[in-house]
Amino acid sequence: MPFQYNYHAPLVWTALHLSSSVVPAVFSRPTFWLFFLMHICVYVAYGQGYLADAGQEGSPLSLNWRAVQVITSMTTFFEVFYTNHVYARYERLFFLSRSILGQLNNFVFDLRVFAHGQQDLVRLATRYFASGVFLFFAEVGQEAVSDDAAANLIRTGLMTEEELLELNSTFTARERSVVVMHWSGRVLREALLCAKAPNNVLKAAIDRLIQTRDQQQQIRDTLKFPIPFPYFHLLNAMVVVNLLLWAYGMGLTRSYFAPLGFFFAELIFCGMVELAGQLSDPFGNDAVDFPLTSWLATSFEDTRVLLEYKFTLGRDGWAEVAAK
């Protein structure tokens, strides 16, 4: 679940708050410590005189920093471009996910207005719609509906054991949410026909279901279409080469601050790659992943309120209320 931070917090406090950042993930990577160990070895060897000639320009062991700057500039461009692309993808997934949850509330809003006297059918259509939303997010988050998720469906009353058994025995994990949404459409049609609602209302309500299904498919397609592997491979190769050159070149000094400078330079480069990896799939348990449990609970509660609240004003018509 994303960490709720204070925009106005002091810079030092924010910089030292590591628990919800990418720093722990970077520190857990053996590769990070391997590069740092290589740098320390070069630094110690140079300090002890084993690489004394490496600090002299023209020596076979010296490093041309102008050449390193070219590689560093290219790597920085590739890394920033990759991170920006992944963040744009992350934003798209955010807005699609929130839109799906908003469609559920709008669905109930329309039915309560136009399906007069058909509360049981309205409840059933809403229950199937909510179940379809739940099943979809369980699918993209876990690739299948776990036993806990199935138990939650039954415990919350979104589905009966008989309905869930039919879904599990007949359809795949990807098909279940679509099928349940179709159930909702069939019940919706019956409710609006019984209420003698205008035909355009029925079409608009069905269009809402279709739009929700389209948004679900867009999320699936986006998750299955990451940035091409050749680009990702090239970026990782450039980062590795860049860190190797830094580990060697920044070690050719007697300054006590060289290891500190390399440590933070490596942390920034590796941290950007790690952050992009976390943003690429926000349906999980990383610090930047969407709080789906909270979103679903809030959306379902809003839906329940819209579905079950009792009229106190306007029970006998709104003309009397308007006249007051």
pLDDT tens-digit readout, 64-116: 888 889 999 999 999 999 999 999 999 999 999 999 999 999 999 888 888 88
Angle made by CA atoms 170, 176, 178, in degrees to the nearest 5: 125
CA atoms within 13 A on the CB side of 123: 11
Separation between Cα atoms, residue 157 and residue 130, nearest integer Å: 10
Q: CB–CB of 46/40 below 8 Å?
A: no
Separation between Cα atoms, residue 171 and residue 181, nearest integer Å: 13
- Per-residue pLDDT at 2: 65
Mean pLDDT of 52-62: 79
**Beta carbons within 8 Å of 154's beta carbon, 6+ residues apart:** 160, 161, 164
Q: Which residue has the tokens 């630094």?
A: 43
Angle made by CA atoms 156, 161, 165, in degrees to the nearest 5: 130
DSSP 261-321: HHHHHHHHHHHHHHHHHHHT--SSSSTTS--HHHHHHHHHHHHHHHHHPPP-TTTT-HHHH
DSSP 31-78: HHHHHHHHHHHHHHHHHTTTTGGGGSTT-TT---HHHHHHHHHHHHHH
Separation between Cα atoms, residue 104 and residue 97, nearest integer Å: 12
**Beta carbons within 8 Å of 214's beta carbon, 6+ residues apart:** none
- Per-residue pLDDT at 36: 96
Tokens of 16: 């030292």
User: Is the per-residue pLDDT at 147 higher than 60?
Assistant: no
- Per-residue pLDDT at 173: 77
* pTM for the predicted model, two decimal places: 0.85
User: Is the per-residue pLDDT at 144 higher than 60?
Assistant: no
User: Is the per-residue pLDDT at 214 higher than 90?
Assistant: yes
Separation between Cα atoms, residue 103 and residue 236, nearest integer Å: 40
**Position 34, amino acid:** L
Does 265 or 56 have the greater pLDDT score?
A: 265
Tokens of 76: 């920085």
